[in-house]
Structures are given as C-alpha cells and as structure tokens.
A and B are shown apart, each in its own frame.
Chain A
C-alpha cells in the first residue's frame, strides 16, 4: 500500500483519530446532546469554508470572505426593520456581486486572486464602516425572531442550523458533482491550460466560483448576525484563518483539482474537534490562533500537489 493512495483518506482518518483521542481524554465529549450543540455552533464557519472550497478548488484563494461576512452582518442589522426576511436576498446579492467582481478582476484584469480579494475585502470594509457608522449595532429582538427565529430552533431534536448546513451542503455538492459547471470546475482545477485549450470558457467558470464563495460568505455572515443579534464591521474577524484551515485539512489542496465540499465538511469537523480538545486540555484561548496557524502550515505541506507547481514555487 503506497502512501499516495492513502492520501485521499487522510482527512477522515485524522478526524476519527482526533475524535478518539479527545474522547479518551474526556468521555463526556461523546455526550450526544452536547456534541450536537458543538457541531451546530460551527455551522457559520462551515458555510464560509464551503464557499471558499470552490475558489481553492480552481487554484485561487479568497481573502475577502471575512470582510464580506462583516458587511453582511451590518446590512442585515440595518435593513432588518425594512425588509424582514428579504435581507437574506440582499445579503446573497451583495455576496454574489462582490465575489463576481473579485473573479472578474482576477480573470479579466490579470490581478492575482490574493490581491484582488484582499482589495475587494477592503472595499467591503469601507461599506461596512459607512453603513454602521463604525459602531456595533444591535438587532431588534422581536423582529429578529419573527424573520429569522427559524434559524435557531430545533426540529425533532436536531438544531435547525444543522438542517441549513445540510441543505447548503447538498446544493454545493450537487453543483460540484452533478452539473456541467462542476465538471468544468474540475477541468479548470486539474489543469487550467488544458481546460483553455479544450475550448472551455475558463474565465466564466472562475468568476462563478468566486461568486459562489461570496454568496456562501454572505450566508455565513447572515447566520452570524442573527446568532449574535447584531452587526459590526469587525464581527466575523478571525474566521478567515479557520475557513482556510477547514478547507485544507479537509483535503482540498492549494493546488486545486481534488477534494471538494464534502472534504470541507470533514475539515470543519476537524477544526471543531481541535477546538474542543483545546478547551478540555485547558489550552488558553489566546493560543488558538497560533495552533491553527501551525496546523495550517502542516495541512498545506501534506496536501499540496508538488508535481503541479512545475519546479517554480513563487
């Protein structure tokens, strides 16, 4: 058995091993009700990471997700009174628009995605600061419950958040595995030049991938603002690192072409288990970022497909 052939199985093996270790340290980890709460808690991160998966899958990166989520928390809070559930639609449109512009700037204007998305993130930050007047805003509790209360109830013992995550995962999986767009995405991720040569409209595929990332980041932001009942230009800060980690430890490498949204689901669970382990081991919360930074480096190093880098690593 070669190591390479085991590679696709690394993520879930890692997950199982981690779960067992954490379970051994603290058996109460397996308590179903608290486990479900733990998983439900990570849903906004999962949604954001799922969108990011599409961009990493085509070999790009989206550094604007956290700012997009921020601007959506503000938009949702400010316009909840006017539009009710309609702010969900506004959020999705904003996400798609920002993502599509990032995609356009990357593909048609030849700006590397880490710069274009970083820049668009700052445009989003501007918008968030302007709309919020640089203050932390709070949602009206009754209006929040009327419009979005359904997000956080539970049906037959299963939190609605998990249902939402399941629905979005199904949609994303369908897009990726059962549509022409999904095949095109695979072609671009596996080898962009070959995809261009075979007549695929690569630019369009990439722009759509960035738009999807934007939409998912926006939905994550919406859930986040409903959950915390407010909006702020910095509310979702700290999510970017975790979202990238979730995608990469799930087994979608930076070089793209393999992996996908199901992998990201596993990756997000790994992030969750690591976080839980840190709580049980009484690792200080201030060390989280360092731990995840190191996990990120390890994950990239293990998953990256070096044959695709063609000798030059910039």
Chain B
C-alpha cells in the first residue's frame, strides 16, 4: 500500500509538466498581451489621467498590431527555417550570413534586370530563393559529409556568408525602390501590409511540409531518435541535407521580406536574425533536443519575442533592456522545455 502513492503522484506530475510545457508559450503570449496595457494604465493612473484598462491601450490597437506583424514577418520566415533543423535535433546558426547574401544578390539581380516588378526583374525573387537553397545545401553538405557538428558548421558558414555579402557589396547599401516591390510594405489589406500575408502564406506552406509530406515526418523521425530512424532504413544524411536546404529557402524568404520592409539590401541586413530566430523557436516550445514542436510553436515564439520588443518601446523602456530580457528568456525557455531525467550530460 505504501508503494502506490509514491508512483501515482509521479505520473500525475509528469502529465502536469507536459501539459504545462505544451501550453506555456500561448499562456506567456496571453499574459504579455495583458501585461503591457496594464503598465500603460498604471502610468496614466499615476498621472491621474482618464484611462480604461485595455480599451484605451495604445498597445492593443490595430495600428500597433500591424507594427508588430511587420517586424515579425521576416523573423517568422527565418525562424520557420531553423525550426525544421531544430526538430531534427541539430541547429543552424548560418541565418545571418545567408539572409545577407540572399538580400544582396536579390538586389543586384533585381536592379540588373530592369528594377521593376513588371520586367524580367521579377525573376530575382525565385533567384534569391535558389541562392538560399544553394547556401543551405552547402551548409548541409559541410555538416554531413565532413561530419562537423551542425552548430559549428553552420556558424562557420554564416561567417562565410557575411563575408561574401561584404565582398559583393564592398560595404555599400543597395536601394530597392521599385514601388511594386515596396508594396509589400506600403499596400495594406485590412490594415495589415501585404508582407504579413506573404509570411502567413509561408507559414502555411511550412505547415504543409511539416504535417503532410514524407520529408516533414522524417524530420520528426530523425529528431525523435536518430539511431532508430537509421535502423528502420531512413537515409538520415539525405534528410539532414534536405532540411538545411529547405531552411535556406526560408532564410531567403526572410531576406526578401527584410528588403521589402526597409527598401535596402546590405551586409547588415542579416544582423540580429540569429538570436531572434533561435529565441523565437525555443521560446515557442520546440525542444532543442529535437522531435517536439513545430511551425505553429514558432509562430507563437516569434509573436512573443516581437510583442516583448514592441511592448517595451510602448511603455517607454530603453532599448537596451530588450537584449538582456531575451537572453534570460531563452535560458528560461530551454530550462523549462528540458526533461532533465532524459538528459545525461550537456556540452
């Protein structure tokens, strides 16, 4: 009789923990959406101004949501790309370099072939996606064929990419001012610019790949247990290389949206994407160990990161707080999503 209670609470706790981990990201997002208006209310309350909680919030306005969506769109594409890799239990840190190269080459191609969407220049868009795929493919080859751990292979490839972008531009900024291309930002449907819908489309494509294709299922198989996947006849190396290639395509999408957002392609276009996207994926609840999570988690993660960044500006916190907050957040997210009994040691 004494043995039973010691087993039962354990199972109970485990269920609780899993449920908590699964819903935590959405919960965090919800809390944030209520928290920032609360700070606004508090400020106005102190200043004895008239302010009804939530209703008078500048943060909870369509205009501000559009702002959050605009900054989240390129990051979402990049984060989705790296989601596939993290699902396999690997990591891709090459996004900054890949995004920069894709952005710069896109701009060169676009301007070189006419510079308007009505001409052949429109081919620069698939061109950029191919460049992204090629860079991801090389990244995957270096990782798989040279047997270099992915974090280091991709980090090195990222350095090469940033270097290549610098070499191509010579440090210059390239302006892409075509009105039709910039309509990604300037034309709005239902208050949200077109780029948000493009990102949404990308998300749906990623969801399709993840849930409705063999490749998507293979990502989970590799992440869930590589030895097992190998033993059951899966060509794991091929899946890995295809994963990195796919990630490269999504990085290129991110690059296109990033150029569309600011109208400039330069070496620095990719700056900051590494930390934001890794943070978003992890905070969204995709486990670094692989096999758990997916693109919808990443959507939540990207929204959390961008809501935090935006909310901090709205309530008047200085910009430097963001970096540190995200740093602590990512550690907290990894800690929360790690089942410590399943991990022997960590490098």
Contacts and interface: CB of A to CB of B under 8 A. Distances in A.
B327 A119 contact: yes
Given A60-B347, A193-B345, A309-B147, A111 B335 contact: yes
Given A115-B334, A122-B324, A196-B345, A61 B319 contact: no
Interface string B171-184: 10000000000000
A297 B153 contact: yes
Interface stretch (A22-30, A126-134, A158-166): A126-134
A73 interface: no
B324 A115 contact: no
A294 interface: yes
B323 A313 contact: no
A313 B275 contact: no
A196 B346 CA distance: 13
Contacts of A193: 344-345
Interface in B302-347: 318-328, 330-331, 334-335, 338, 340, 343-347
Interface string B37-54: 000000000000000000
A85 interface: no
Contact of B275 (A105, A112, A122, A290): A122
B214 to A, nearest CB: 22
A123 B344 CA distance: 28
B73 interface: no
A294 B97 CA distance: 13
B57 to A, nearest CB: 26
Given A115-B334, A116-B331, A313 B148 contact: yes
A126 B345 contact: no
A110 B345 CA distance: 7
Contacts of A59: 347
Given A115-B278, A115-B282, A129-B319, A106 B346 contact: yes
Size band of the interface chain B makes with A: 35 or more
A314 B88 CA distance: 8
Contact of B162 (A289, A313, A314): A289
Nearest to A60: B347
Interface string A298-311: 00110010100101
Given A59-B347, A109-B335, A129-B319, A289 B328 contact: no
A292 B326 CA distance: 30
A254 B149 contact: yes
Contacts of A114: 91, 93, 151
A293 B330 contact: no
A301 B157 CA distance: 13
Q: Is the interface of B mostly helix, strand, loop or mixed?
A: helix
Contacts of A107: 346
Contacts of A312: 226-227
B320 A130 contact: yes
A301 B153 CA distance: 9
B224 interface: no
Interface in A115-145: 115-116, 118-123, 125-127, 129-130, 134
B105 to A, nearest CB: 15
B163 interface: yes
A190 to B, nearest CB: 14
B25 interface: no
B159 A289 contact: yes
Given A115-B278, A129-B320, A300-B156, A109 B331 contact: yes
Contacts of B344: 193
Contacts of A300: 146, 148, 152-153, 156
B150 interface: yes
Contact of B347 (A113, A241, A293, A301): A113
Contacts of B275: 118, 122
Given A109-B335, A126-B327, A129-B320, A304 B159 contact: no
Given A110-B340, A313-B147, 16 more contacts: A109-B331, A109-B334, A109-B338, A111-B331, A111-B334, A111-B335, A114-B93, A115-B334, A118-B274, A119-B331, A123-B327, A126-B327, A134-B319, A287-B167, A293-B158, A297-B148
User: Lowest 6 A-B CB distances belong to which pairs?
Assistant: A290-B163, A126-B324, A289-B163, A129-B320, A293-B160, A122-B327
Interface of A: 59-61, 105-107, 109-116, 118-123, 125-127, 129-130, 134, 192-193, 196, 202, 241, 244, 254, 284, 286-294, 296-297, 300-301, 304, 306, 309, 311-314
